[in-house]
Amino acid sequence: MTEPLIQSPQQQRWRRSAIAFTIWLLAGLGSETVARAETPQNIAAPANAVLARLEARKAALARANAAVVGVEVRAVEDARSIATLGRVREGSGVVIGKDGLVLTIGYLILEADHVDLVDSGGRHIPARVVAYDLASGFGLLQALAPLSLAPVPLGTSGQVKSDEPLMIASGGDDGDLSLARMVSRRDFSGYWEYHIDGALFTAPARSDHSGAGLFNADGELVGIGSLVVSDAAGRDAAPVRGNMFVPVDLLKPILAELRTRGASHASTRPWLGLNCVEYEGHVRVVRLTPQSPAEEAGLEPGDLIVAVDGTEVADLASFYKTLWREERAEREVALEVKRGADSLHLTVRAVDRMKTLSRPQGV
């Protein structure tokens, strides 16, 4: 008699999610195909085709899930990012290269001193930082020992439909797999001088989102997890708690550049050291990075930024795009600021953000 297979908690979660996903796919793929059959005798062929497609997709998703690893990071002792991210960080990454190249979210590995990859069996594999890309938010890691994991193909995030079944997978000892749906696709502006086009917003929310992989039904990677948000469906829709994923379409044109120089050219741009939000048609300063160009220029929390280099700005997107339209990172930036009833004209000496970071090993 064959002994029963003892499955780990992660394998059990994967099996439950795979069953749920199969039912979802069958409902989405099978009902329409079978309904087209004109007679009962014609039902078998389309039904078998659907089942075959389901099996192929289940296998692709299993491979995708296996390619998601845990990422454990310890930052350098004097890293500025410790104040907001902590020195010890945990998240996920996805194997995208046969040589052990792993894609993750950049803030996990910001100013990293030591990085380990953790497979589903709990094995720790040392890794080095290949790239941290300020512009896209991506990070790249290189395993320093064989991972023995097949890489996943990159999908096309721009083709993901709102009603398309998606899977979110995190890695490591506590890795998990769950169903998701895309509730919106739109540009995203972060309060920390960050903007990307075509971000993917999914629901329901996952708390272990950092570096998690977002996969389509064919097991292709379409996004890397970044944030939990309360407005996943957009500002004009009812509040929906979900996640923001950085689309892999942003990676494809810069991947070779990231591997060779550690960052895209777009990451070399002016940085002021501000955290801002949108407030009544203006950009409101809520926090200043200590010893940043903005602090040294005299900006204060509560200030409203109304113009950059003579161009009016009304939201974060226009603020960032106006700030970054000049390619030189280290330059003087003229800000028109409202502070209460006063109008101020301040000059900020912007710097190259990449030069302010404690350099991760390997970059």
State which H helix or E strand residue 142 sits in: strand 138-143
DSSP H or E stretch at residue 311: strand 311-312
Q: Name the DSSP letter for residue 164.
A: S
- Coil, helix or strand at residue 42: helix
* Whole-number pLDDT of residue 18: 57
- The mean pLDDT of 317-343, rounded to a whole number, is 96
pLDDT by residue (tens digit) across 214-233?
A: 999 899 999 999 999 999 99
pLDDT of 38 higher than 60: no
The CATH number, out of the four listed (3.90.79.10, 3.30.565.10, 3.90.1150.10, 2.30.42.10), of the domain defined by the range 268-356? 2.30.42.10
Architecture of domain 68-260 in CATH? Beta Barrel (2.40)
Alpha-helical segments (H) within the chain: 9-25, 31-35, 44-66, 82-85, 255-261, 293-297, 316-324, 353-356
Domain boundaries defined on the chain:
9-66, 68-260, 268-356
Query: CB of 330 within 8 A of CB of 293?
Result: no
Helix (H, G, I), strand (E, B) or coil at 240: strand
Q: Which of 17-31, 260-274, 334-348 has the lowest mean pLDDT?
A: 17-31
Could you tell me whether strands 282-288 and 88-95 are parallel, antiparallel, or unpaired per DSSP bridges? unpaired
Nearby residues of 104 by Cβ (< 8 Å), 6 or more positions away: 71, 91, 92, 93, 94, 138, 139, 140, 141, 211, 224
Closest among 248, 168, 153 to 215, alpha carbons compared: 168
Angstrom distance (rounded) from CA 214 to CA 268: 28
% of the chain exceeding 70 in pLDDT: 84
Residues 6+ apart with CB under 8 A from 186: 198, 199, 201, 234
* pLDDT band, residue 40 (cuts 50/70/90): very low
pLDDT of 132-182, one tens digit each?
Answer: 999 999 999 999 999 999 999 999 999 999 878 899 999 987 788 899 999
